[in-house]
Amino acid sequence: MAAIPMAMPVPAAAGSVCGPVVVVGQQFCAPYVVDLTVTKKALSLSDSDFAVTDINGNVVLKVKGVVFSLRDRAVLVDAANNPVLTMQQKMFSMHRRWQVFRGEGTNPENLLFSVKKSKLFQLKTELDVIMASNPNEDECDFKIKGSYFERSCTVCLGNSDSIIAQMNRKYTVKNVILGKDTFGVTVYPNVDYAFIASLIVILDEINKDRAGDD
């Protein structure tokens, strides 16, 4: 896999963590800040609903929606179209829970983590990320906090203020005309950017229905 181009150094935020945070694989970690752009097509006629690009515009990850599925489901693939993760909403679950599996498919043995709303009704976005190795779910392993209307959020370690990634929406005339949502994502050093990309996709899916409690 080609190395991600190095982004310009940026000051570390208060409470940020140096890592390592490896969830999907070490190959998705870099010893420097990685700046990514996540572009979502409002109406996709191709097999790619999201594209994740580096600072040079090279596609490093893509998300393909699974059509004709009984449940919301998407597959994260690398630039060579190799399956990395499968994301699927759990049926009849409270807090709009999504489950994420390694590779393609939803074999329970390949479950990596789950994402769910911290509370059933929220004014601001708050999601809990629970690793498969934490079946009791006494505490979340990661937390996503932010504002849906401002389309900005941070990803933190557990319930701490240790930031591992930040996301903000980008507004351009071109994107508005083409019906695209574009997000700038800053991934802190030694943090798994494939993991962060999957969280952004799930965040967008959960926020499609703010009133949903399924």
Can you give the residue ranges of every domain in the chain? 26-206
pLDDT in tens, 84-95: 999 998 876 666
**How would you classify residue 116: left for phi > 0, otherwise alpha for psi between -120 and 50, otherwise beta?**
beta
- Using the Cα atoms of residue 106, residue 108, residue 113 and residue 115 in order, give the sign of their dihedral: positive
Helix (H) or strand (E) holding 125: strand 125-131
pTM beyond 0.85: no
CA-CA distance, 48 to 136, in Å (whole number)? 35
CATH code reported for the domain at 26-206: 2.40.160.200
pLDDT in tens, 59-114: 999 998 755 454 578 899 999 999 999 999 887 666 678 999 999 999 999 999 99
